[in-house]
Amino acid sequence: MESVNEVRTITSQKQKTLLVVNDFKYRFIKKTKDGLMNWRCTRKTCKASLLTELNNYIILSTKGNHEHPKESKIELQVFREHCRQKASESISTKPSNLIRTELLKCPAATKYKNIKSIRRAVYNERRKLLPEIPKSIDQVFLQLKEMKNNSYMYKNQNFVYIPDTDDFICLTTQENLNFMVNNCNEYFTDRTIDYAPKFFLQMYTIYSMKNGFYLPLVYFFLKNKTKNTYEAIWKFLNNLCVKLCSFPLTVQKLYLDFDKNEHEAAINVFPGVTLIGCHFHYHQCLWHKINGHSQLKYPYMKDDDDFGKWIKMFYGLTFLPPNEIEDAFMELINICPNHKNGTIFSDYVLETFVSSNSIFPPNVWAVEPSLNFSLRTTNGLETFHHTFKRQFYACHPPVPKVISVLIQIQAETSTKLYSIAQEGFASTMTKEDTLLHDKIISLYNNYKNNKTHDTLINYLIELSQLYKQRRI
């Protein structure tokens, strides 16, 4: 028999171990009386065989010769096997990225039709790791309640909680709830719509901030955005804290999106809570109004358009004391370069954010910058959602896949909680946020020391320049 070179192991389609020696494949036959492993060529008519040690596949002897050509598709089989293995190890990596990475390691040329078959193998491998994909919302709740396997558990602990009414799904851990009742009284909320699980309208996330870190602690899969639903999830969460931690949830400050139902529900459940509107979502509300009217959008998109510059100045209102918002608004109205189109925008801002009976009055979203003021924003949460979305191939992924990703995220959250408890683990603001924070304070102090019409307008112009390049 020819000399032996490298010995490799691959897995067959039946998940059996094969040896590859000199481009010939061997299948395991039996274990000898001496405790050795007997292998034979995978070609049924070929009698070539070899003996190896039990565990390390070191070849001790060979017998017979191959009377057939060497295998021509071994590299393809190795490539497929590597992709299948990576598919199970890195479940959140997109198949296309996974295959491209393995292609770089593949020494032989691979036909495109083989890539398509390997992609199918990757998808099939991942389907084995997740429960059956529900075909209706009723199946979702039934599957979760049955809990047939550990796919919905976090380290053998409950991760999924469902009310008797089946109105929503709550995902959290007892560790998270203990941290909330013992360490937190301020919370941030955010949602994702496009990547909410299939059959649900939104994924609603509750975070806390500790030692400079945003910690995602509770997730809700919601069917709608009604006030009753928001009230129900807060009451459910509070009852869950009492049940598992023996203490109720304390909420003193709550950072929210500008959703009237959210605000009213929070006040009804936590009467003394202080509601704070996020700067990011204030800017997002303005952008949605601008984007909905061509008379506003086209000037806004031009850097040299006076009307567009005037619109951008409204972004700076968030960095004024609440009691100065009405006067600042009137100053902006007086200098509007296009009153006909300007009223489309100014009426919206007045009715939504400025007047005493507006939906979200200035004390909710405006703040005077100072040395100890923080950027009232959920940008950290937006970063979380941006990363979350990258885990999926398409919008509205199936519930099992979303839960699998959230369990992985929970592992990181648990690590942060442990570090905070044991080491006082802390993080500082990013360099970008620190520079922005300091710049805003500097601009405000210049305005504060000489409050005139001109200094106010210059202040708002400077702020609009800071935010015009920031993503909305």
Written as six digits, the tokens of 182 are 């013992």
- In whole angstroms, give the CA distance from residue 219 to residue 190: 10
Confidence of residue 376 (pLDDT cuts 50, 70, 90): low
Residue 204 to residues 28, 150, 171, 294, Cα–Cα distance (Å): 52, 24, 10, 32
Lowest mean pLDDT among 38-47, 108-117, 203-212: 108-117
Rg over alpha carbons for the chain, rounded to the nearest Å, is: 30
- Pick from 396, 391, 393, 383: which is nearest to 408 by CA? 391
Residue 471 confidence (pLDDT): 41
Rounded to an integer, the average pLDDT of 188-197 is 91
Question: Residues 124-176: pLDDT tens digits?
Answer: 777 766 777 889 999 999 988 887 556 688 988 899 999 999 999 999 999 99
- Is the pLDDT at 472 greater than 50, yes or no? no
Residue 304: which residues within 8 A CB-CB, separation 6 or more? none
Confidence of residue 263 (pLDDT cuts 50, 70, 90): very high
- Pick from 313, 285, 297: which is nearest to 465 by CA? 313
Angle (deg, nearest 10), helices 399-423 and 137-146: 50
Distance between alpha carbon 98 and the CA centroid of its chain, in Å?
A: 20
User: Cβ distance 61 to 46 under 8 Å?
Assistant: no
- In whole angstroms, give the CA distance from residue 417 to residue 385: 20
Residue 462: its H or E element: helix 453-467
How do the residues of the chain divide into helix, strand and coil, expressed in percent and rounded to 5? 50, 15, 35
Rounded to an integer, the average pLDDT of 23-29 is 87
Written as six digits, the tokens of 300 are 């806004």
Burial 228-245 (b: 16+ CB within 10 A, else e): ebbbbbbebbbebbeebb
- Is the pLDDT at 347 greater than 90, yes or no? yes
For all residues of the chain together, what is the average pLDDT? 85
- pTM of the complete model: 0.76
Residue 372 confidence (pLDDT): 61
In the block, which residue shows the tokens 């047939």? 148
Residue 427 confidence (pLDDT): 61
- Give the 3-state secondary structure of residue 364: helix
Strands (E), 228-297: 253-256, 274-277
Q: What are the boundaries of each domain within the chain?
A: 7-63, 74-129, 138-278, 284-373+431-467
- Is the pLDDT at 241 greater than 80, yes or no? yes
Lowest mean pLDDT among 20-29, 70-79, 165-174, 394-403: 70-79
Confidence of residue 108 (pLDDT cuts 50, 70, 90): low
User: Cβ distance 405 to 92 under 8 Å?
Assistant: yes
- Is the pLDDT at 5 greater than 70, yes or no? no
Burial 343-378 (b: 16+ CB within 10 A, else e): eebbebbbebbbeeeeebbbebbbbebeeeeebbbb
- Pick from 410, 383, 408: which is nearest to 176 by CA? 410
User: Cβ distance 233 to 169 under 8 Å?
Assistant: no
Residue 106 confidence (pLDDT): 66
Tell me the range of 174-178, 354-358, 380-384, 412-416 where mean pLDDT is highest: 174-178
- Percent of the chain exceeding pLDDT 90 equals 49
- Is the pLDDT at 36 greater than 50, yes or no? yes
Q: Where does 302-338 have alpha helices with state H?
A: 306-312, 325-334
Quick one: 205 exposed, middle or buried, by C-beta within 10 A (0-12, 13-18, 19+)?
Answer: buried
In the block, which residue shows the tokens 């500097």? 442
- Pick from 466, 462, 465: which is nearest to 432 by CA? 466
Lowest mean pLDDT among 29-38, 105-114, 119-128, 177-186: 105-114
User: Cβ distance 187 to 208 under 8 Å?
Assistant: yes
- In whole angstroms, give the CA distance from residue 43 to residue 390: 44
Please tell me the total number of residues recorded for the chain in this structure. Answer: 472
- Pick from 325, 314, 202, 342: which is nearest to 259 by CA? 202
Rounded to an integer, the average pLDDT of 431-439 is 81
Rounded to an integer, the average pLDDT of 231-244 is 97
- In whole angstroms, give the CA distance from residue 303 to residue 23: 65
Residue 385 confidence (pLDDT): 72
Written as six digits, the tokens of 366 are 């405006």
Region of residue 35 (left: phi > 0; alpha: psi -120 to 50; beta: else): left
Confidence of residue 469 (pLDDT cuts 50, 70, 90): very low
- Is the pLDDT at 306 greater than 60, yes or no? yes
